[in-house]
Amino acid sequence: MTWKKVAEKGGIQKDSGAQFNVEGKKIAIFNKDGYYALDALCVHQDGSIAFGKLEGDVIECPLHFWHYNIKTGELLDYLKGVKLQTYKVEERKDGIYVEI
Ligand code: FES
């Protein structure tokens, strides 16, 4: 596991998300009272949750509105026990880093 810089400090607006390509993976990072990182692609049909609607800890996939908890990666509807992988993320002096 290594830490990779994905954005400049302040590069992800508060209460929103952004998508990054890191080591061949699409990662969504949300700035919501801290930073949270998880796989960006919805398990339904690969919509990117990075561009969904964020309410509290819940992100809604923009394609067909499945919901995930951004802190745990857990899918909140339709299928039990499904999770997107989560990653550690940190804002440092020189940027935002994710461990992958
Ligand atoms: S691709 Fe996310 S709900 Fe269909």
pLDDT of residue 53: 97
Domain boundaries, the chain: 3-99
Atom 3 of ligand 1, residue of closest alpha carbon: 64
Measured in Å, residue 93 CA sits from the centre of ligand 1 at 35
Which residues 6+ apart lie within 8 Å of 41 measured at CB?
A: 26, 47, 48, 49, 84
Q: How far apart are CA 89 and CA 44, in angstroms?
A: 25
Ligand 1 atom with the shortest distance to the CA of 46: 1
pTM over 0.85: yes
Q: Which two tokens stand for residue 40?
A: 């960006």
Is the beta carbon of 63 within 6 A of some atom in ligand 1?
Answer: yes
Amino acid at site 31: N
Residue 66, ligand 1, Cβ within 6 A: yes
Please state which CATH number belongs to domain 3-99. Answer: 2.102.10.10
| pLDDT, tens digit (0-9, with 9 covering 90-100), for 28-87 | 999 999 999 999 999 999 999 999 999 999 999 999 999 999 999 999 998 999 999 999
SS3 content of the chain, % helix, strand, coil (to 5): 5, 50, 50
For 9-25, write each residue's pLDDT tens digit.
999 999 999 999 999 99
* Residue 14: per-residue pLDDT: 95
